[in-house]
Amino acid sequence: MLVQLPLNRASNFAMENDLKSPKRKRAVPLKKMSSQNVASQKEPQEEKQSICDMEDMFSDIETQKIRKALLGWYEDNCRDLPWRRRTNKEEEEDEEKEKRAYGVWVSEVMLQQTRVQTVIQYYNRWMLKWPTLHHLAQASLEEVNEMWAGLGYYRRARFLLEGAKMIIAGGDGFPKTISSLRKVPGIGEYTAGAIASIAFEEVAPVVDGNVVRVLARLKAICANPKHKTIVKNFWKLAAQLVDPCLPGDFNQSLMELGAIICTPMNPSCSLCPVSSHCRAYSISKEDKSVVVTDYPAKVLKVKQRKEYSAVCVVEILGSHDIVEGQNTGSRFLLVKRPNEGLLAGLWEFPSITLDKEADLTLRKNEIDHLLKKSFRLERGMTYQKISREEVGEFFHIFSHIRLKVYVELLVICLKGERSDLFSEQDNEVMSWKCVDSKALATLGLTSGVRKVYNMVQKLKQKKLST
């Protein structure tokens, strides 16, 4: 339920049929539009708008100059990232190419909606644990989720695992073409193009958020960049530009330019290797009321909806270890989410979803009902309450949800020899486990769950100090 959703790499776009557009002298940027308003427009109107806003294709001379400029700039300025191995691709054996493809796949999936600096440490740890596709295919979903903890969008991790198992089971080696890559779970048009071009030198375009921004400014395209008709044209432009001799390097140069030079808010136009071909830059110099950042049109985000949740950290003191039969002191109750749906297979503290803001009494009653129904934890009957206190609350921000989380700590001692306490749990509701504080500190948990645990620890430290 609780997970950080970091932002950066835009979602992949789908390639569709091409559309032509007439020449215009210049493009005028549109005002900001809400995604709801854009979606409500009729298809013929949007198609007409895209034709008006989309300039002609690059000329042959312009294409050659842009390729040369970008490849030269990339050679001298590309960032040293662990998934970029500059090798002689012609001398690479098939095994090395497949290993490169695997690394590209992992990095591209991690980079979706996530900053590069965050991904680097995750990528290095991942490749250390599962250096090849065969290693990953032998992993469990729980292991993968623990390694992924903190990156958000856990569905991506599940698709990586499912895809690895599917490829290995097929016995034909790593897919080398876009058409075969698209058959792998979780690999869309963008990821397929990135793998095929970078690892196997297939002449194929890639279009992500960085590429859209660069192309929109090069051609002064001021239409909604997320509309499917406009997306088709971005793929068409990218396909025209991609270098037939070095498709992988060119695609990376285009993405790199958008990442470090042609940025959303503060582009460094004076350092851009293709500024002489940029219509947005040219227009901004002629008309001071227009700036490069007007391109592409900015779509206002949909307002986040509010949701509420109550989390209960259940700490069991001096209890008989249910799993190992040892007296190990304080342990914490963790609940496993279902293997399908949001945050599938991840561990969290017992929690409930609330319809609206609720007072402490109502939250406690709801938590008590959950503990009794799912774990047979009933005060006076199966456990003695040592303490119960409100820890605090915080907001957890998702891309489309503003979640308010209430946190409480319930410290209990089980009554008698109750090793069978949880044996009659409703298996259709949830799975559980008890872990000590040392194991909990090293367990792969989502950022939201980790925040809850840290709040509890701070409360305990404060009580000790006073």
- Report CA dihedral (40, 41, 44, 48) to the nearest 10 degrees: -140
Q: Which of 108, 189, 201, 348 is catalytic?
A: 108
Instruction: State the number of CA atoms in the 13 A half-sphere of 188 facing the CB.
Output: 15
Calpha distance 100→74 (Å, rounded): 19
What letter represents residue 115's amino acid? R
Contact 215, 234 (CB under 8 A): yes
Enumerate residues 6+ apart whose C-beta is below 8 A from 147: 122, 125, 126, 129, 157, 444
- What values do phi and psi take at 2, rounded to 5? -110, 125
Calpha distance 440→331 (Å, rounded): 9
Task: Give catalytic status of residue 62 as yes or no.
Answer: no
Instruction: State the number of CA atoms in the 13 A half-sphere of 217 facing the CB.
Output: 31
E-strand stretches of 242-330: 299-300, 305-316
Closest CA to 233 of 19, 14, 60: 19
Closest CA to 117 of 153, 144, 80: 80
Enumerate residues 6+ apart whose C-beta is below 8 A from 455: 391, 392, 394, 407
Which residues form the catalytic set?
Answer: 108
